[in-house]
Amino acid sequence: MSVVQPVLSVRDLRVEFVTRRGALKAIDGISFDIAKGEVLGVVGESGAGKSVTGSAVIGLIDPPGRIAGGEILLSGMRIDNLPPEEMRRIRGKRIGMIFQDPLTSLNPLYRVSEQLVETIRTHTNLSSSAARKRAIDLLADVGIPAPERRIDSYPHEFSGGMRQRVVIALALCVEPELIIADEPTTALDVSVQAQIIALLKRLGREHGTAIMLVTHDMGVIAETADRVAVMYAGRIAEIGPVRDVVQNPLHPYAKGLMGAIPSLESAADRLVQIPGSMPRLSAIPPGCPFNPRCPYVFDRCRVERPEPIQQSEHRVACHLYDQSSVRSEAVA
């Protein structure tokens, strides 16, 4: 569609967990792209497959989980079938990752300097003094005051927000093309969350890094992301520009999810709640996985799986928007 190649391109990705009772599909055929400098928000309830998608991209799905199909392309290069050693070289160098809890992401027994220098030297030929200098610059870049002094501290000597900045520095330390941020602010104080989000956004812009921001917090997505993918039971229900999806969601699940954002402007009297809960992986209903909770459900939803349909800038997986579907006008 465009001459510029996306940084990350996921094509029909499937991840399953092999158990004694058969394979459970954690990710069931999802596709999306992230362009250079773009922030893609991935949102959904816990268990929807957001984090698994992130782990799959960076090649850290642990057994019994495995990638069962599809392709993952990093700047056009296929990475989902690389040998472990080659994939390791990509991790940290071309794809960085930030985890939810900064308190536990850092090894408590090593100084921050040791962890930074170790990562830098794993992926570059820098001498240890050069790596240290780079590490200090990085800490300054992520907004840690007096980095020359703080660099030799241990993780427990930093506050939660500062630690998450260190984690971001670690993820960014060799200028990766893509950063996967898995709930980067969930464990932080509300006051610190905004700072971390602003930092991520600024760094992404300055370095042209593509960011995949996994969260269940629609507020964070609305504030940060350029585009958003709404996941449900291992599939993408809807994907599109963040303004459109927030203001004009198409998929009934997305409608419910957006209804759950308290908004001052719309001054709604009540928050919409979706009845029921997401199915467990072992009990995903046939057809559309959302059909038991969907207020607009009709017969086709219970038998046939909806494929993504392009609707202006959105892509939505719902039979309501299928031209051949009888009842489409009823809601649209």
Partner 1 sequence: MLAFTIRRALQAIGVLLAVGIIAFAMFRFAGDPVNQIVSLDTPAAEREQVRRSLGLDDPVPVQFVRYLAQSIQGDFGVSYQFRQPVSDLLAERMPATLELAICATIFSTVFGVLMGVYSGLRRDSFLTKVFQTVSLVGISLPTFLIGILLIYLFAVTLGWLPSYGRGDTVQIGWWSTGLLTVSGLKALIMPSITLGLFQMTLIMRIVRAEMMEVLRTDYIKFARARGLTTRAIHFGHALKNTLVPVITIVGLQFGSVIAFAIITETVFQWPGMGLLFVQAVQNVDIPIMAAYLMLVALIFVAINLAVDILYTVVDPRLRTTIRQPT
CA dihedral (234, 236, 237, 243) in degrees, to 10, reads 140
- Contact region for partner 1 (CB under 8 A) — 29-37, 163-171, 194-202, 297-305? 163-171
Which one, of 168, 228, 231, lies nearest residue 202 by Cα? 168
Q: Tell which positions 71-110 bind partner 1, by CB under 8 A.
A: 88-93, 96-97, 99-101, 104-110
Quick check: 239 and 315 in contact, CB under 8 A? yes
Please spell the DSSP secondary structure of 169-232, one letter per residue: HHHHTT--SEEEEESTTTTS-HHHHHHHHHHHHHHHHHHT-EEEEEES-HHHHHHH-SEEEEEE
Closest approach of partner 1 to the CB of residue 60, in Å: 6
- Contact region for partner 1 (CB under 8 A) — 64-72, 142-150, 236-244, 283-291? 142-150
Applying CB under 8 A, which of residues 126, 154, 309, 322 lies at the interface with partner 1? 154
Applying CB under 8 A, which of residues 9, 51, 113, 119 lies at the interface with partner 1? 119
Quick check: 214 and 180 in contact, CB under 8 A? yes
Can you tell me the distance from the alpha carbon of 236 to that of 163, in angstroms, rounded to the nearest whole number? Answer: 32
Q: Does 124 bind partner 1 (CB under 8 A)?
A: no
Pairing between β-strand 65-74 and β-strand 8-19 as defined by DSSP bridges: antiparallel
Closest approach of partner 1 to the CB of residue 187, in Å: 10
Closest approach of partner 1 to the CB of residue 112, in Å: 11
- Enter the tokens of residue 186: 């969930």
Closer of 118 and 226 to partner 1 (Cβ): 118
* Cα 236 off chain centre by: 12
Applying CB under 8 A, which of residues 1, 3, 4, 146 lies at the interface with partner 1? 146
Residues that bind partner 1 (CB under 8 A): 58, 60, 88-93, 96-97, 99-101, 104-111, 118-119, 122-123, 146, 149-150, 153-154, 156-157, 167, 170-171
